[in-house]
A = this chain, B = another copy of it.
Amino acid sequence: MPIRLQEADFDVGAELSVLRHGDARIGAIASFVGLVRDVSDGAGISEMTLEHYPGMTEKALVAIVAEAKTRWSIFDALVIHRFGRLLPTEQIVMVAVSAVHRGEAFAACEFIMDFLKTRAPFWKREVTPAGARWVDAREADQSAAERWLDE
């Protein structure tokens, strides 16, 4: 259950290779990469800063991955999330899940992202032409997380 918070960028291909590590039981790897866009809520974004709560963030991610493992039969999950200053097109977050079949891998990967978005203590501050602003939580993210609670 590798979980990493870091300022540095990451290499998705290399991380997926580590997750696979030649394990011939794995038939499926679902993954997600989140990127900085240059537009947000209609405003141009020149850069973004990601703040987090050291200690609690790691705990929250460990709990989310553990919950995914109780819900689906998966081998392992990887979560990497960056903090600090990021520019448009840069990678913010990566989640990858290995499993025997794709259904479990997809579901667990999306679940982890949905819960990370609503439960892990990260905050985005964007710089727009009108100045810096803290990003508001999206209702769509809340809805995405809540749909897993009905299952």
Partner-B contacts on A (CB < 8 A): 11-14, 16, 20, 22-39, 88-89, 100-103, 105-106, 109-110, 113, 140, 144
Contact = CB atoms under 8 A, between A and B. Distances in A.
A54 B25 CA distance: 30
Chain A facing B: main interface SS: mixed
A25 B38 contact: yes
A28 B94 CA distance: 10
B31 A35 contact: no
Contact of A34 (B24, B28, B35): B28
Contacts of A36: 24, 27
A27 B37 CA distance: 6
Contacts of A39: 24-25
B33 A29 contact: yes
